[in-house]
């Protein structure tokens, strides 16, 4: 397809899957990069909802009616979260402006019990997406991903997953906007 990335991946940037990606784990995915260094990359798919809520998988958190998203195929027995509530949690790794990955889960449980944290401030994931050293760079050379370093950070917390990939592609500017209208399967054209 020859999209050739303008940006290099970094913590806080997003990866957008190429429009015809065949891997069902990543079809039309928008991935928020939480870690990117010489050892590899960790990200969370922000637009792949599951059929579960946090209270379905966490014992003793009956009031945690937050939707769960599928962060990726790695460690699907783990819960990850991103938030913009550092003032309440006082923990997390900053990955963007007012955007934090993880934090003190015990403090978070108290905030949830007290209904002091809202859905627009936090997003939960089952598992994550991961790349070994050099793997993501190889996939970028193969044009499997588009890297976006400038996007609306509020999109991370959106739950309208169906259009999020298109919105993210369009937000990259005219060079990529036409890609948003490509069908998922080129045979549908």
pLDDT of 113-143, one tens digit each? 999 999 999 999 999 999 999 999 999 999 8
Rounded mean pLDDT of 74-99? Answer: 95
Helices (H) and strands (E) in the chain, counts: 6, 10
Rounded mean pLDDT of 53-60? Answer: 93
Nearest to 96 by CA among 160, 172, 33, 182: 33
- pLDDT, residue 7, reads 80
- pLDDT, residue 149, reads 83
- Cβ atoms of 124 and 81 within 8 Å: the answer is yes
- pLDDT, residue 65, reads 93
* pLDDT at 184 > cutoff 70: no
pTM score of the predicted model: 0.91
Instruction: Pick 36 or 159 by higher pLDDT.
Output: 36
Distance CA 152, CA 100 (A): 15
* pLDDT at 151 > cutoff 80: no
Domain ranges, ordered by start, for the chain: 14-81+127-188
- For 98, 168, 169, 172, the CA distances from 109, given in Å and listed in that order, are 21, 31, 35, 36
Tracing tokens 């195929």 back to the chain, one arrives at 73
Instruction: Pick 91 or 181 by higher pLDDT.
Output: 91
Write out the two tokens for 23. 């891997």
* pLDDT at 14 > cutoff 90: yes
* pLDDT at 1 > cutoff 60: no
For residue 33, report the phi and psi dihedrals to the nearest 5 degrees. Answer: -85, 120
Rounded mean pLDDT of 16-40? Answer: 92
Q: Which of 44-48, 80-84, 89-93, 158-162 has the lowest mean pLDDT?
A: 158-162
- Say what percent of the chain tops pLDDT 70: 93
- pLDDT, residue 10, reads 94
* pLDDT at 189 > cutoff 80: no
Mean pLDDT (the chain, rounded):
89
Fold of domain 14-81+127-188: VC0467-like (3.40.1740)
């Amino acid at each position: 397809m020859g999209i050739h990335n303008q940006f290099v991946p970094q913590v806080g940037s997003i990866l957008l899957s190429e429009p015809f990606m065949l891997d069902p784990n990543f079809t039309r995915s928008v991935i928020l990069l939480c870690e990117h260094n010489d050892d590899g990359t960790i990200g969370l798919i922000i637009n792949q909802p599951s059929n579960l809520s946090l209270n379905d998988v966490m014992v003793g958190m009956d009031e945690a009616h937050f939707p769960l998203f599928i962060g990726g195929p790695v460690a699907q027995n783990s819960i990850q979260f991103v938030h913009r509530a550092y003032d309440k949690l006082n923990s997390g790794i900053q990955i963007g402006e007012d955007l934090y990955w993880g934090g003190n889960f015990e403090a978070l449980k108290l905030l949830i019990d007290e209904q002091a944290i809202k859905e627009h401030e936090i997003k939960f994931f089952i598992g994550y997406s991961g790349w070994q050293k050099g793997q993501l760079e190889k996939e970028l050379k193969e044009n499997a991903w588009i890297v976006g370093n400038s996007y609306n950070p509020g999109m991370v917390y959106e739950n309208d997953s169906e259009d999020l990939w298109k919105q993210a592609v369009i937000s990259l500017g005219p060079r990529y906007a036409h890609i948003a209208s490509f069908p998922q399967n080129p045979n549908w054209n």
